[in-house]
Structure 1
């Protein structure tokens, strides 16, 4: 998916949010955002922690969880519940997209389908409502797992 913002502009917004909330500036918050931005994918708290520990051995998983909660509350990241692999996180500064999640291996595929988007708007209009947001997740058994005989 295309990025809507550079990493530096996200970090600048993060610094403003930290000040607004009366918090001390934290290199770890910036590192979590950087890891998610640079990964371009959906990471677990454990994967984020492992990545940060390559440069900072003192990073704790509990600190990463606290930071993720803050970043989600401030709309810097999105949480994706995948069922199989628990919560995964992605940077919020991407174009709108939906997800296909394999229930067997946990792989996540991002997609955009303009017909589905239009259909959702039509459904909202038919109910005299305005669509503000949606989160579509399709749970599947992916082609790789099907090839391995998983049903």
Structure 2
């Protein structure tokens, strides 16, 4: 069984345990995100499903699927680019806190890390001192990966 197959099986079992269903179309969209090392837009996922599964999906359907997958903690929405990435913690059963995304500006590769709670508390306190309330502490950091910097 491949790593993606194991992730898909775990995602399906997790959904079942919560009384939800990972339908064929939801599986196809999740598979596309797991297969990609970069974030994908809804339209890129439509193209992926057409190419890989010969499945025509409407944009509104893909957005609903992505919303479902996000609610089930299987994917994350990147706010800056309005794209989606598979959660790197699908196999874990515990809460992972606030995600930090390192995004290569050259090849668009993404890595998900978890921000320590103390750091989030500090950021929220700093924002509060300046008269702001943090709505979403998710961080998206523009970087260059080692492969791109060395090529």
Give TM class, smaller chain: 0.5 to 0.7
Name which of 126, 133, 138 aligns with 1:135.
Answer: 138
What is the Cα deviation at residue 136 of structure 1? 1.9
CA distance in 1, matches of 2:45, 2:87: 16
Aligned to 1:62: 60
Seen in structure 2, the aligned counterparts of structure 1 residues 111 and 62 have a Cα distance that, compared at 3 Å, is: closer
Seen in structure 2, the aligned counterparts of structure 1 residues 46 and 70 have a Cα distance that, compared at 3 Å, is: same
Report the 3-state secondary structure (helix = DSSP H, G, I; strand = E; otherwise coil) of the residue aligned with 2:85.
Answer: strand
Aligned to 1:72: 70
Larger Rg: 1
What is the Cα deviation at residue 99 of structure 1? 3.4
What is the Cα deviation at residue 26 of structure 1? 1.7
Note if contact 1:99-1:108 (Cα within 8 Å) is conserved in structure 2: no
CA distance in 1, matches of 2:109, 2:4: 22
Measured on the aligned residues, the alpha-carbon RMSD in Å equals 4.0
What is the Cα deviation at residue 93 of structure 1? 1.6
Report the 3-state secondary structure (helix = DSSP H, G, I; strand = E; otherwise coil) of the residue aligned with 1:98.
Answer: strand
Gaps of 5+ in 2: 90-95, 127-135, 145-151
Name which of 89, 93, 117 aligns with 2:88.
Answer: 93
Q: TM-score, normalised by structure 2?
A: 0.59
Say how many residue pairs are matched: 122
Report the 3-state secondary structure (helix = DSSP H, G, I; strand = E; otherwise coil) of the residue aligned with 1:137.
Answer: strand
Aligned to 1:42: 39
Note if contact 1:101-1:137 (Cα within 8 Å) is conserved in structure 2: no
CA distance in 2, matches of 1:22, 1:110: 28
Q: TM-score, normalised by structure 1?
A: 0.59
